[in-house]
Amino acid sequence: MAELMKVKQLRPRMGNVFIELEIVSIGETREFASAKGQGKVCSAEGKDETGEVQLSLWNEQIDQVKEGQKVRIENGWVSEYKGQLQLSTGKFGTMHVL
């Protein structure tokens, strides 16, 4: 099992992120359609003792979490949008509700 990371260690374009976060807030769900298909996406705010990060929840992940719960992201991916870090499971990662 990979070593747990902290929010303050996250950098743009970082892959293989293994982190545990508490869900602070969950935003509005948006529907999307693209050449690859359609689905739902939602931004959430996650935190640990070192800081907070935007977390992108996709499709079934949206219904799996509630505010105040802890989640573990395995093999996550960090991107950057408007100067803000965005963490998601990407194509290959997984999210577990703890």
pLDDT digits (tens, 9 = 90+) for 47-98: 999 999 999 999 999 999 999 999 999 999 999 989 999 999 998 999 999 9
CB 26 within 8 A of CB 91: no
For residue 51, what is the DSSP state?
E
- Sign of the CA dihedral running 42, 43, 47, 50: positive
H helices of the chain, in order, are: 60-64
pTM over 0.85: yes
Domain boundaries, the chain: 15-97
Residue 1: per-residue pLDDT: 62
CB 19 within 8 A of CB 48: yes
- Decide: helix, strand or coil at residue 9: helix
CA–CA distance, 28 with 25 (Å, rounded to integer):
10
Residue 48: per-residue pLDDT: 98
Q: Please, what CATH class does the domain formed by 15-97 belong to?
A: mainly beta
Residue 96: per-residue pLDDT: 97
Planar angle of CA 87, 92, 96, nearest 5 degrees: 65
**4-52: per-residue pLDDT in tens?**
999 999 999 999 999 999 999 999 999 999 898 999 999 999 999 999 9
